[in-house]
Each structure stands twice: as C-alpha cells, then as structure tokens.
Chain A
C-alpha cells in the first residue's frame, strides 16, 4: 500500500463525514455568520471607521477571524477522531502512519475551505464589495490557502495534545477567541487602550485581518512593523507555525501516542 494511495483513501473517509456530521462545520460557518449579522446590524451603527463603509471594513475582519477559528475546528475534529478507536485500527494496519496524519490534515483543510467559501458567499450576498485586482485576488487566495494549511496543522497538533473535544473548545475560547477579537477585526486597533493595542499590534491574527483588508479594500494601518507589512508578516507567521507544528504533530502521532 503506497503512502499516497492510503492518504487518498483516508482523506476520502474524512470528507464523507462532512455531510453526515454537518454540525462540525458550525465552527467555521454559523459562528462567523452570527458575528456578521451582529456587527453589521446591531453594533455596526455605533462604530465609525474613517474612509470606508463599515460593511467593507467588517468582512475582511470576519474572514481573518474565520481563518483563526479554523484552528479550533480542526482541533475539535481531531480530538474527536483520536478518541475513536478507528485511528488505533489504522495505526495497527500495514500502512504508513504519515498517511494517517496527512489525511487528517487534508480532510480538515477541505472543511476549512468549504466553511470559508460559505462565509465569503454569504458576505457577497449581503452586499460586501471587495475591490480586487486579478493580481491581488491571486495573492489573497494564495495567502489564505497558506494560512488554512498552517492553521489546520496547528489545530491537528492541539487536537492530539488535548485529547478531548471539550478541552479543545476551552483552549479555543481562552486563547484564540480573544486574539481574534483584538486583531482589529471589528474596530480599528488605533482606537484601543494602550495594553490591548500593544497586544493587537503583534497579534498574528492582526496580520491576517490586515492582509485581507489591504488587498480587498486598500485600507492600510500602521502602528507596528507587522501592521505596516501585513502580507509579509502573515506569510512569516504561517511559515513559523508550519515549521513548529508539522514536526511536533508528526512526532506526537508517531511516538508519544505510541507510548
């Protein structure tokens, strides 16, 4: 059994679960949609961002936030999977263990792409008008794919470390949730109090939001190196995450889980 074929078979397995457990997509679809509705029609009227309509300001923020929430989604799904005996069966079969974790990442990655597509389409229906050139669109899609890839690996690693879906939700709520809110997602960083502003200036999700906002609306912020160069910062963050999480996840799967 070649590792490529095993990866393919196992990826198809993960994908088949999507229509059968649609609630898994909630993290990456309903949650952003609730935030869109809440901020667009409830809080939005009280927020004024100079130079841009709040609708156009909000959607890039939501996209960045959804990308970050993908970590939680991948982590919860992975901890679910690890708790099921089926992963043990795969691990005791004559197939490459790399293919098992690769398939896990591929399956989660596809879920993230699907969730993101739903969020973007919802935004367009509500009247979001991204001002994209072809070159910017290509750059945006490439960076988003890179981010989803990095965040999926991070989620898979966290999902294996915590080994309980509830614990993963907890980590998400305590760490990722606040970072996703601080990142200039809903309100400009410049107007924040000194401490949250300092955090937001170096929050990786700020680079994400800044990138999407810069490429779609031409809105640029400043205040720190990464806010001034969000695309480069975002690419670097993603590469760092990949460099750290991929080997750790592989090691965790191969060694520590195996005792």
Chain B
C-alpha cells in the first residue's frame, strides 16, 4: 500500500509564545487536491513550510510520501516542490536563466536543462517575457515562472502556498487554468488559500484551518451542507409587496424574513422543484418582486458558521510572523 502523499499527526509549531499550528492532523492522498483554507495568520504558511523542511516542528509528526520531514529531510526534498506566496526566484536573473538554474540544480546537464526550460516556457506561456529580469516582471508573470520552477521534475507532491494572493482577477484566472491543467495531469496538490472560491473551484477536499487548528474538513459540497440546506430568496419590489410575500409564503413554506432587505427566504430542500412552487405562488397572487433565486450556501457561509467569524476578518497586518531572527 502506498503511504499518503502528506500525513501529519498532532503537528504543532510555536514561535515563542505564539502557537502558529496546534495539533494539526492532515492527510492528502496521492492524486488528490486538498486545500488548506483559512484567513491570514491561520497557520497555513507555517504548515507548508514544515512540510517543505524549511521549519522544524515542535510537536507531532509530518510525513511526505511516508518520509519524516525531520529525520528523512533529504528524501522529503526530493518528493516535494513548494511554490511559496513570495516568488522564490533570483530577481537578478531572467525568467529563462532562473528556470535553467533550477533545472541544473535538480541534476540535469546544460542541454537537458535548456530543453526542459523551453518546454516549461511554452506550457506556462512565459515566452513573451522569457529574457526579462525577474525583478522587472509583474506579479502574475512572476507567479507563472515560479510555478514553472516548481515543476521541472514532476514532483510527487506539489505545494502551492496562496498561489493567487495579491494578483489581479485576470492573472488569477490564468493561474487557475494553469493549476487546473496540472490537476488534470494527476498531480497531487496541497493548496493553501484564503479565498473560499479558490478552494471551491480547485480542490477535492477542503480543510478549514483557524488559529492553527483544523476546524472542519470535507468536500466543498459537504462543508456547504454542514451549514444548512439550500433556500429560495424572494425580494419584494417594495415594503408593501414584501408584506404580501410574507402572508402568502408563510404557511405553505418554512420561511425566514428580513424586512430591511425586503427578502423572504424559503427553505428549499427539493431545490428546483421548490423554486418552481415558490415562483408559481408568487405569480398567482400577482406580487411584484425584484428577484427570485435559488441560493446554495457558499463556503463563506460555511466559514462563518464553523468558526464564528468571517474568513476575511484578518487584515494584511496580522499575517503570520516571519521566523524572527533574534
């Protein structure tokens, strides 16, 4: 039986008094995409840095491909490829020079390294800025070179730490489609993100992490179910119409209301069937509405329900501390 690509048991990491990761159990099976989702300062970066042998855990264990990150660090470094939140490239080399250097450091000869670089340049659409110094690249361009550098040898496990943080929406789409292509190729991926839609879009399984602890885990669909079923929201055209909506829908359906937003929320366990019934009831009485829509709970709702605070509560200011030099 092959060991899981990543397995942590009771993983704990402290920086002085501050516990960044507390008793974290995490499991990533080979060939799957797991997202570690949490706000700034939740312990995501610390976790992946431990997995990549850049930090030493204070408690518990972490294994990559069955190898312990502390005692078998050399094996782990052969299996894992980490692309961090800040571009891990030499700013004074060009995009192409960086890739050739990384390929050669992975043991390839000059010609071999140049060949693999050409393939990566094509695959990640780097050609346009291949000979520009990395320090002159935009954030999105840099991220693509960074991703390419992590994929010189197909790694056993690819770890992407917040791959789209700080990118504009267009660059984010480009990075997403790049990641999707990798996933289609069967790469095992651990992806950290603070964007719920990103986890939803890319991951098979999501682990919600908050203050260094895993607070929930499951498929994106399971997590959404944990927060509650679907509902139909009906928005009245004005206050009077909203009153009429309440009268009509209360009784036949299970409802909750928000007068402020002129919205009646109807529990809709049968999804589209319920939507049709609500719409029919409204049309029959001739009530003027602004909107009738089926709502699935988002991961944002899930986060709020499971942690008691919204995912975007943290600001940039309380990002995880760098390992502070004394």
Contact = CB atoms under 8 A, between A and B. Distances in A.
24 contacts: A1-B105, A1-B107, A9-B104, A17-B93, A84-B88, A85-B84, A88-B88, A89-B84, A89-B88, A90-B105, A92-B54, A92-B80, A94-B74, A94-B77, A160-B325, A161-B325, A162-B325, A163-B325, A255-B56, A256-B325, A258-B54, A258-B55, A259-B54, A259-B55
B6 interface: no
A13 B102 CA distance: 11
B78 interface: yes
B291 interface: no
Given A9-B101, A16-B92, A84-B90, A92 B77 contact: yes
A17 B77 contact: no
A6 B105 contact: yes
A210 to B, nearest CB: 35
Contact of B92 (A21, A88, A91, A257): A21
Contacts of A88: 54, 82, 84, 88
Interface of A: 1, 6, 9-10, 13, 16-17, 20-21, 84-86, 88-95, 160-163, 255-259
Nearest to A257: B323
Contacts of A257: 323
B178 interface: no
Given A1-B106, A16-B97, A91-B53, 15 more contacts: A9-B101, A9-B104, A17-B92, A85-B84, A85-B88, A88-B82, A88-B84, A89-B82, A89-B84, A92-B80, A94-B74, A160-B325, A162-B325, A259-B13, A259-B55
Interface of B: 13, 49, 52-56, 74, 77-78, 80-82, 84, 86-93, 97, 101-102, 104-107, 133, 149, 323, 325
B90 A86 contact: yes
B267 to A, nearest CB: 49
Contacts of A162: 325
B89 A89 contact: yes
A257 B325 CA distance: 8
B77 A93 contact: yes
A94 B64 CA distance: 14
Given A20-B92, A86-B89, A88-B88, A258 B56 contact: yes
Nearest to A80: B91
